[in-house]
Amino acid sequence: MAEEKDNVILSIRGMCKSFGRNRVLDHINMDVKRGSIMGLMGENGAGKSTMMKCLFGTYQKDEGRIILDGKEINFSGPKEALENGIAMVHQELNQCLERSVVDNLFLGRYPKTSLGVIDETRMKKEASDLFRQLNMTVNLTQPMKYMSVSQRQMVEIAKAISYHSKIIVLDEPTSSLTVPEVEKLFKMMRALKEQGISIIYISHKMDEVFEICDEVSVLRDGSLVMTKPVSETNMNELIAAMVGRSLDNRFPPVDNKPGKTILKVQHLSTKFAPYLKDVTFDVRQGEIFGLYGLVGAGRSELLETIFGMRTRASGRVYYDDKLSNFNSSKDAMDHGFAMITEERKANGLFLKGDLTFNTTIANMNHYKSGVALSSPKMIKATSNEISVMHTKTMGPDDMIANLSGGNQQKVIFGKWMERDPKVFLMDEPTRGIDVGAKYEIYELIIKMAKQGKTIIVVSSEMPEILGITNRIGVMSNGHLAGIVNTKETDQEELLRLSAKYL
C-alpha cells in the first residue's frame, strides 16, 4: 500500500468549485501515477478545464486538497505552478507572435549575465540543446507569426519540458497536427514517461487515448464518473460514461441526395504566399464536399480565397452560373456564403462580448425595429440558437469567454445559422468538441445538406472526413491532388494523394 502511495505523483481529494449557483466541480478524487500518461475525457463543460485551472492556481478551489509529490499545494497562479514542476500546454495557444521562438521560450525568466544584461548567447544554446534533444528542427530567430499552428504547438510543448516539469498537462495537443507530427508527439511523450515525467492528456480523440494513455478518467457534469486502465475499457464504455448514454455509431447516416452542380471553382490561384496553384473543382447543391490534406497543404487558404479573404492571382468562382469572385468576406456574406474559421478565438469570436452579441453580430439588419436594434429580438434569436445547439450556458447574457471551447464553437455555428446561408464553408468545425457534441454537429451538417445547402468542410481527422462527406478533394502543397468518392476510398488513398506534390 505504501509502495502504491509512493507511486502517486499527484493526488486530488474532494475538489469542489462553483460559479455562483452553478457547481462546476463536485468532490473530485483523482490520482496520477508517477511516470504515467493519464487520459482525461468528458463533454465540453464537464469540468476538465476548471479542474486544471484549480490545479494551476488560475482559479482557487472552494473545497478539497491537492497533494503534489507528498506535499499539499495551493498555487496562487500559473507562474508558481510552473516553478514547482507543473506545466500546461493549452489548446488555444497564448504566445507573443511578434517575438522569436527563443523569446517565447524564455518569457518571464530571461537569464542574465553578471552585468545584469539578458544573456542571449545562453538562451540560444539552451534552446538549441532542447530542440536537439526533442529531435525538432526550428529556426530560433523566426517570429512565431510565420509558423504554422502545429509548429507553434510543438514549441509550446518544448517550453513546458524546459521547466523540468514533474507533470505536463496537454490540452487537445493534436487538434492541429498532421499524422506524422502526432507520431512524433507520441514518441516524445513516451520518452518523457520513461524519464519519470507524468502527463495528463486531455483529448476528445478516443483512438489516441487508447494508443498513448495508461489510464483514463472521465468527467461528466462536474463529477468524476470513471477511472480505469485503458486496457480494461473500450470505446463504447467511454462514450457511455461521457454522455450518459450509448452511441451505437460515431457518425449518423449520410443520407443526403446531392443535386445539380451549383458551385464551380475554376483554375484558382492566389497572389500571395502560401500559394494555391490552379485549383479546379465543382460542388453540387446539397452536397457535403470534404477537403483533406496535411497541415500547410492549402485547405484553409482555399476556403479563405473563395470567401474573399485572400487575393486571387487568377481563376474564377461561379455560384448558380453567376460570377462569385468576392473581394471581401462581407461581399461573400451578402451573397449567401458563410465560413467557420479554424482558430475561433483569433477570428471567430468577440471574447469581450456576451452570447447575444456573438450570435447576432453577423446579421444585425435582421434585428432592427425601425432604425434601432431590438434587444428582445436579439435575445430571442440567441435563446433559440442555445436551444437548437444544446449550448451549455447560463443564458444569452453569459460572457462568451466563460464557455468551454466546444460550446464557443456551437455559438459560432448558431451565428451563421441565423443568416440561413446557401454555401457553408467549414474549417475544422469540430476541433476541440466532445464526442456527443460532434455527433450533434454531424447531424446538423447532414440536415443542412438535405435542405439543399452546399457544404465544404475541412478536417484533419481521417475518420471524420470519411464519415460525413459525399466526396473528398485532397490538397497537396497548394495543388488539388485528386477528388474521390467517399464510399469508394480509404485512408491509404487519401494519404497517398496528400503526398503527391511534396
3-state secondary structure 68-123: ECCEEECCCCHHHHHHCCEEEECCCCCCCCCCEHHHHHHCCCCCECCCCCECHHHH
pLDDT in tens, 442-451: 998 999 999 9
Would you state the pLDDT for residue 245? 65
Query: pLDDT: is 216 or 153 the higher one?
Result: 216
**37-46, 109-118, 307-316, 399-408 — most confident range:** 307-316
Cis geometry, peptide bond prior to residue 78 (ω within 30 degrees of 0)? no
Confidence of residue 207 (pLDDT cuts 50, 70, 90): confident
**So what's the pLDDT on residue 457?**
97
Is the per-residue pLDDT at 453 higher than 60? yes
DSSP string of 272-319, one letter each residue: SSSPP-SEEEEEETT-EEEEE--TTSSHHHHHHHHTTSS-EEEEEEEE
Q: What is the pLDDT of residues 181-191, one digit of tens each?
A: 788 888 888 98
* d(C-alpha 328, C-alpha 344), whole Å: 19
Alpha-carbon distances, residue 173 vs 208, 372, 390, 405, 431 (angstroms): 11, 44, 26, 14, 11
Instruction: Note the pLDDT of residue 240.
Output: 85
The whole-number pLDDT of residue 180 equals 77
| Reduced 3-state DSSP string for 448-470 | HHHCCCEEEEECCCHHHHHHCCC
- Per-residue pLDDT of 267-296, as tens digits, reads 999 999 889 999 999 999 999 999 999 878
Note the pTM of the prediction, 2 decimals: 0.67
Specify the range with the lowest mean pLDDT, choosing from 145-159, 189-203, 330-344, 464-478: 145-159
Q: What is the mean pLDDT of the chain?
A: 89
